[in-house]
Chain A
Amino acid sequence: MKYDESQFQEKIDQEIKIEPKDWMPETYRKTLVRQISQHAHSEIVGMLPEGNWITRAPSLKRKAVLLAKVQDEAGHGLYLYSAAETLGTSREEMVNDLLSGKAKYSSIFNYPTLTWADIGAVGWLVDGAAILNQVALIRTSYGPYARAMVRICKEESFHQRQGFEILLTLSQGSPEQKAMCQDAIDRWWWPSLMMFGPKDSESTHSDQSTKWKIKRKSNDQLRQEFVDMIAEQVKILGMTLPDPNLAWNETRGHFDFGEINWEEFWNVVKGNGPCNKQRLEDRNKAHDEGQWVREAAIAYAEKKAARSKSKAA
């Protein structure tokens, strides 16, 4: 049976998931490969700002928790790379694209983690923003991507809660600790809002990703959900968000908030963020230093296979 785009769209409209061997338009495949691999790269690069604090965590408990969280991020990267591979791209190709700077990852990870409180802010705000997006993606039309999201979402809630707990502890501490907590929130708030991407109104294209149900909620929709959620949660910390325009809007039933600095957003996307260069250098270094391990493992597996073959003969 031969498929065409209208039959494909019909399946999508009926909420039938697309699976790896099913026929799909080439642009659907390409869009997914790009989006899923960028998502995977974000998980992998996302380990760097947090890894920065593993050796300096304030207690053994905090260190164990942070290690577990960073390990989860590696796992999330692997789930996603596997999902992208079902579309016919290879792991090596994706990794090469990340290392060469061709492929993108979420800009949020190009900001530095300057104090311990940043680890709390990353968990609460950055993972909080990621969760909203990922929960929406559980209903994405591509089966392997949706399934990876289910696993990721289950694990992410620990990340957000541990982040909030770090800030909660600081918010009840000494004046210096309170100041550190507020400072981290001040620096991470706007970049977290930028994670949802440009405003919907700046879209001049018909939105293919929505039509194909790759994406289920718009940028502004998700951003508003995030603001509404965080504006309430910040009260429990006794801290404030760095936005004088943040105010409850009775008629809309949502929080109003100020304008994002879009110039900064595009600047970081284009590679001029505070840590773009360092992140890529660190990934390249890790990859290069792992080279001998990858080769040795293959050599060992081949030797073992040859030995068991000769034994059998």
Chain B
Amino acid sequence: MIRKFYYGDIPEDAGSGGHAPSKDARSGGNTPSKNTGKDWPLWEVFVRSKQGLDHKHMGSLHAADAEMAIENARDVYTRRMEGVSIWVVESKHLHASNPDDAASFYDPANDKVYRHPTFYELPDELSHM
């Protein structure tokens, strides 16, 4: 039986590179293998594209320290003058809301349509408002 493979989705059953695949060969699954945990720390990168605009999340990268993270971010995310300022923060320091709680978490905003200008019906002749 032949499976359909997509570009960038190459069959798992055969080794590339002239190495015989080992018995437990597995590609891209996410059970840890010979992980020594020696990756450099992960950093999130935020770039201000021009003066007057907010910093925007661009992605992440690995670096040994903040200085290296900023230099790497310059090389990875601003090769074509995409930025005038870079922020980096170690990913472990970033806290996020939980998407599973989104319904209840954002619920307080749901029923308050009066916070929007369109809630108020005013005469058409009223201008500049």
Contact = CB atoms under 8 A, between A and B. Distances in A.
B65 interface: yes
A289 interface: no
Contacts of A91: 39, 62
Given A104-B10, A271-B14, A304-B65, A33 B4 contact: no
A270 B8 CA distance: 15
Contacts of B16: 101, 104-105, 107, 110, 269-271, 276, 280
Contact of B4 (A21, A200, A297): A200
A192 B76 CA distance: 28
Contacts of B33: 93, 96-97
Contacts of B35: 90, 92-93, 96
Per DSSP, chain B at the interface is loop
A32 to B, nearest CB: 8
B115 interface: no
B39 A82 contact: no
Contacts of A105: 10, 16
A82 B18 contact: no
Interface stretch (A70-78, A172-180, A247-255): A70-78
A118 to B, nearest CB: 21
- The size bracket of the interface on A is 35 or more
Given A79-B59, A96-B33, A219 B65 contact: no
A144 B11 CA distance: 23
A195 B6 CA distance: 9
B4 A38 contact: no
Chain A CB count within 10 A is highest, among B4, B6, B19, for B6
Contacts of A229: none
A5 interface: no
B17 A279 contact: yes
Contacts of A222: 7
B92 interface: no
Contact of B29 (A21, A34, A279): A34
B84 interface: no
A187 interface: no
A227 B19 CA distance: 33
A162 interface: no
B52 interface: no
Interface string B1-40: 1111111111110111111011001111110111111111
B64 A300 contact: yes
Contacts of A196: 7
Contact of A197 (B5, B15, B25, B32): B5
Contacts of A37: 27-28
A272 B16 CA distance: 8
B5 A90 contact: no
6 contacts: A21-B96, A31-B9, A204-B1, A270-B14, A279-B17, A280-B19
What 8 A-B pairs have minimum CB-CB distances, sorted nearest first? A34-B28, A101-B19, A203-B4, A280-B17, A104-B10, A277-B18, A297-B64, A270-B14
Given A101-B17, A271-B19, 16 more contacts: A21-B99, A38-B8, A92-B36, A92-B38, A102-B26, A104-B12, A130-B7, A133-B8, A197-B4, A197-B5, A197-B6, A200-B4, A205-B3, A207-B4, A219-B5, A270-B16
